[in-house]
A and B are shown apart, each in its own frame.
Chain A
């Protein structure tokens, strides 16, 4: 298996632009998690899906952030409009059976820079 695949690896965009981050979970995994990592705040869970349904989005910072999982093999995290404080590394992870399961696997991350 290729693991959790995220794209793009790096994204530089201007303030105010829409940004879409993509994630393909491991085939067969039914839980997907989006995280953000910054120097100031460390790792934060933004949202997680179970069987394509958002279970907890309390970590989503504000309405500019939205996440979708239209099917079991694809998820997007969208920021519209983007702001410089959104600059961070965004990780996607997937697992079989939720956050308490084994086989919890992270993608390589997308480094977002908003200028």
Chain B
């Protein structure tokens, strides 16, 4: 069993829809990253969370430490949001990353 599970694996949405990507983890963590990887391959760190909620533009990330669960929300989705979104949990020791397998998002105009 993977330490980090993401869902859904693939997601297709119409432009303008509200999108949620989920990440559950089974290990103790000190922080959780949400990464975005575009078709060209480059990776961008969107958020680093250790508690609560963060917002950046149309992106919102939340984490519930007790439930070991994080969500990434995209409001008013746009075709340029099409990418793979990867959840990465950082262990309590701060030395080990556990990666989800990614959610491939396609937003259709």
Contact = CB atoms under 8 A, between A and B. Distances in A.
A101 B97 CA distance: 14
Contacts of B86: 42-43
Interface of B: 30-31, 33, 35, 41-45, 48, 50, 86, 88, 90, 94-97, 99-102
Nearest to A89: B41
A56 B96 contact: yes
Contacts of B31: 99-100
A20 interface: no
Interface in A19-52: 42-45, 48
B interface: dominant SS: strand
Given A99-B31, A100-B90, A45 B44 contact: no
Contacts of B101: 42
B97 to A, nearest CB: 4
Contact of B45 (A43, A48, A55, A104): A104
Interface stretch (A62-70, A77-85, A105-113): A105-113
Given A45-B96, A56-B95, A104-B33, 9 more contacts: A42-B99, A43-B86, A45-B97, A56-B96, A99-B31, A100-B48, A101-B48, A109-B43, A111-B41
